[in-house]
Amino acid sequence: MVPGGQKVRYIEREYRGIWGAESVQLLEYSNSDKVKFMSLHTGQHRRVIMTHKVFFRETQRFNQWWFRVILAIPFVILSWGFVQQVILGKPWGDNPGPDWMLWVTLPVFGIGFPAFLLSIRLTTEIREGGIAVQLFPFHWTPQEIRVSDIAEVGIRQYRPIREYGGWGLRYGPGGKALNIRGNMGIQLVLRTGKRLLIGTQRAQEAAAALKVAGLG
């Protein structure tokens, strides 16, 4: 139970048909008597709305200062070459390539690739009924892991490089990892035997939420 007067987040999902698309919306309600399930029939579609209490929500990004500096390096170098060769007409480097190559490499590698990496975000929710995780843009919708699918779950310290080869969407001898930074994570062992580690910067809060959700 959540203390009276405290706000609790809910997830509202709308399912249309069995194979139809779903839309997700984050809502906030005060704790009380919010319905857990509602079914409406509209035309040919059966509209089902389910709500879940969210006990923990965390969004992480690659926003470390050193990471931004690394991403800025190709932009600065390619921009300098573009200005020198395309705008000022001075060949760039000892063996300069054609101008069209700079027209391609600057937007793709100097702007597009860094923008893609900066857009990556890991969102984790511990909520009533299970855990939802989304590593955007690899996952366009949250990946739900239901309580019934979880054999074990807990918080543990791990070695990102040694166990998974780094951060991001990773695979290693210990299974799959979704992480952004640090060395603490939510370790799940599914009933299928698969293992999933979800990185977190708020390990203590996540541990408390797992207990409240009946998972810890």
Does residue 159 fall inside a structural domain?
yes
69 and 154 share one domain: no
142 and 54 share one domain: yes
46 and 83 share one domain: no
Q: Which pLDDT tens digit goes with each residue over 38-52?
A: 333 344 444 444 456
Does residue 2 fall inside a structural domain?
no
- DSSP string across 2-39: PPTT-EEEEEEEEEETTTS-EEEEEEEEESS---SEEE
Does residue 138 fall inside a structural domain?
yes
Q: Which pLDDT tens digit goes with each residue over 164-213?
A: 998 889 999 889 999 999 999 999 999 999 999 999 999 999 999 999 88
Q: Is the dihedral of CA 51, 52, 56, 62 positive or negative?
A: negative
Count: domains in the chain: 2
List the strands of the sheet with 184-190, edge to edge.
150-157, 184-190, 195-199, 175-179, 168-172
Mean pLDDT of the chain: 78
Quick check: bond before 173 cis, omega within 30? Answer: no
138 and 181 share one domain: yes
136 and 32 share one domain: yes
Nearest to 97 by CA among 108, 109, 84: 84
Domain that holds residue 199: 7-61+120-212
pTM for the model: 0.67
Final residue in a domain of this structure, among 100, 119, 138: 119
79 and 109 share one domain: yes
Distance CA 34, CA 27 (A): 12
Nearest to 213 by CA among 139, 124, 141, 123: 124
100 and 141 share one domain: no
pLDDT at 123: 94
131 and 164 share one domain: yes
